[in-house]
Chain A
């Protein structure tokens, strides 16, 4: 018996198990929250060492990126991310993972066309639209200043 695409879609939905939200949501919350706490601890440490707020925040980011990069290198970040989901995606560590993972993966294609060229294959859009949005914001600010 031939089905229409709509009927088939219904059948697909019926057969496909849903994500277990009662597992994914708490895990994302806790793991994401812990990464932010680690960030807070680093920030407090750098502030204690005498860095001003802006610099302490930057050095905190660098440190978190460093941790994430090496966890990625050891193949541990994706193991945490399997449970963390958005909890490891949304923090800056997820951004670092999305840069470091292709850099490592594609080194078999060489350090220029592999590692370097593919480095921003996942994170590229984040930078493109982050920068684009900031430029638009800057132009609006500038126009307001003129008025």
Chain B
């Protein structure tokens, strides 16, 4: 049911009945390395191209989630999938053998929240019994599309973020067990004129602020009602800015705020500069670690606000700024 201004309450409280995560080598060596269902030391995953490797990672996350939930493919009524690549190729080629109704999404790094929100809305409105939300990213496939060839010797700026090689999948079904999806807030495009493609955190912080504050206002909740407000991949720069933006409203979120981009890697040891990014970053953190904690009730009320910098190299070269977006999904243990 629409509350207002993009916030939708899912009155039937759909459940995330199964979830799985898959991660690459660097991610498996990070602080959350033990949380993932699947890790690999070979980021090619035996495939001939990086696009195929990413596809495979996404397939692994999806099939692992199916088997963890005891589902077979025909139980899934619709699949929402996305990634960073042009035409969402990792998702569509990953899904071509599934025979599941497919919706491809692009929300840059916000795709996990976007797909999870849509899966929740579909189940809540009885458009689907079981809906899957799947996203992935791969460092090498993103690098060659958005930046430089992998072996090119460029220096990354301190504000640059590291695209995660990871995937996550969540399957949403009708109300049965936690985590429940309580409400979602659909993001708006926020463009504050940031043109630096190496500072995605700055391009996304305003979007996260806008979506989180709208969600709180529209659902009449306070920051203190949450155990965790988890932003997508703002990294260090964007996280600092988000806190600063809330501070101007007299709200302190630092006690409950964390960021997937800061959680996935050990920033000092792994040399990822401002933190992780990419659809797979928030997907693997959510599906590898957060959903489990909600299911076990160590976390009771979580606002998952994944953020995306909708960066197009083409219009960026034309001098246009980078629009940001953030979608929020409220997950709770009861």
Touch between A and B in complex, CB under 8 Å? yes
**Which A residues lie at the B interface, using CB under 8 A?**
1, 3, 5, 8-9, 11-12, 14-20, 24, 72-73, 75, 77-78, 80-82, 84-85, 88-89, 94, 97-98, 100-102, 104-106, 108, 122
Question: Given contacts A8-B193, A15-B237, A16-B202, is CB(A104)–CB(B153) below 8 Å?
Answer: no
Cβ-Cβ contact count across A and B, 8 Å cutoff: 95
15 A-B contacts (beta carbon < 8 Å): A8-B194, A11-B241, A17-B237, A77-B153, A78-B151, A78-B154, A80-B153, A81-B154, A88-B153, A97-B153, A101-B148, A101-B153, A102-B149, A102-B152, A106-B144
Most buried by B among A5, A15, A105: A15
- Alpha-carbon distance between A106 and B50 when the two chains are bound, in angstroms: 11
B150–A105 touching, CB < 8 Å: yes
Q: Are the CB atoms of A101 and B158 closer together than 8 Å? A: no
B193 touches A94 (CB 8 A): no
Residues in A neighbouring B155, C-beta threshold 8 A: 24, 81-82, 85
Interface residues on B, range: 20 to 34
Tell me whether chain A's interface is mostly helix, strand or loop, or mixed.
helix
Q: Which residue of A lies closest to B194 (CB)?
A: A12
Residue numbers of B with Cβ under 8 A of A are 48-50, 144, 148-159, 192-194, 199, 201-202, 206, 236-238, 240-241, 244-245, 248-249
Q: Is the CB of B244 within 8 A of A101?
A: no
Inter-subunit contact B249/A1 (CB<8 Å): yes
- With A1-B249, A12-B194 already in contact, the answer to whether A77 and B151 are too (CB < 8 A) is yes
Choose from A12, A18, A20, A104 the contact partner of B149 (Cβ within 8 Å). A104
Contact A98–B199 (Cβ < 8 Å) = no
How far does the alpha carbon of A110 sit from the alpha carbon of B114 in the complex, in Å?
A: 35
Residue among A8, A75, A94, A100 with max Cβ neighbours from chain B (10 Å): A8
Q: Tell me whether A100 and B151 are in contact (CB under 8 A).
A: yes
Query: In the complex, are the beta carbons of B237 and A8 less than 8 A apart?
Result: no
Q: In the complex, what's the smallest C-beta–C-beta distance from B53 to chain A, in angstroms?
A: 11
Q: A5-B193, A102-B152 given. 8 additional CB < 8 A pairs?
A: A3-B206, A17-B159, A17-B236, A77-B151, A81-B153, A94-B153, A101-B151, A101-B152
